[in-house]
Amino acid sequence: MSGENYNILSRLPVLPDFGAEPPLSFKDCLSSFENENPKVAQLARIYAINVDLPSSAPLMDGSMRPGVVLVPGDFKDFTKIKRFFSKSTVEKVEFPEDLDLEKSFELYFRLAELEGENSGSKLFSDWVSFEVSFRNFIARARAKKLHIPEMPKKILRELVQTFAFEKFESEFLNVTDPIKEIELSESLRYQWLLDNDAWFSFSDDELLAYCMKLLCLERYQCLTQIEINTEE
């Protein structure tokens, strides 16, 4: 597959630094190679669900609309998400009838963990652990910022690992704008991808990292636009 990935990566534009406008859309990127490497395209779409989990509309129309600021809603039906995962993954997980937002995220990350194992993608498996750890860290940091008791429960505690979030925490605690919080979080996610992107290996993980970084850039641009519209 490295030969095919070399051809794909060679024709994709170089990604800019975080904060710059992406050279193409996430959707167009996947369309350009999904027939050549459907496995990576599938993992990229599963990653994109993480951005928009409570909203079923992006899942149904395939747009995945990154950059939406999410709030808990009436998300109950997980059946639309099942089709993004392999049959072998879905068969290993029990789907509760009643899902709140927290349970939805737990179910999503459990599915993502299994998909990473089934696909053999080290990047995707490592990302699941990083993202779960980061979300739990954010919950603790936000409780500290708001001077409220920290919730004792962690989402998928067994997946949580120790990452160096100390520098990020000091910046996070000084930010008061919720949009700025998200932007800061996205910059950390982008840096993690840069540190783990299997660069110049022409592997599936390098191609997947490209897609994941592209979505981070696209989401940041959407957040910036939300901030501009809010100021106006």
pLDDT digits (tens, 9 = 90+) for 42-92: 999 999 888 655 443 443 344 444 433 333 333 455 666 788 899 999 999
Domain count, the chain: 1
DSSP 64: -
Q: Which residue has the higher pLDDT, 59 or 22?
A: 22
CA distance 214 to 196: 15
Band (pLDDT 50/70/90 cuts) for residue 17 is very high
Q: What percent of the chain has pLDDT over 70?
A: 78
> Which domain range does residue 23 map to?
2-231
Would you say 49 and 75 are in contact if contact means Cβ atoms under 8 Å apart?
no
- What pLDDT score does 77 carry? 57
Q: What pTM was computed for the model?
A: 0.85
Q: Is the pLDDT of residue 21 over 90?
A: yes
**Alpha-carbon gap, residue 27 to 146, rounded angstroms:** 37
* Measured distance CA(139)–CA(17) in Å, rounded: 28
What one-letter code names the amino acid at 87? K
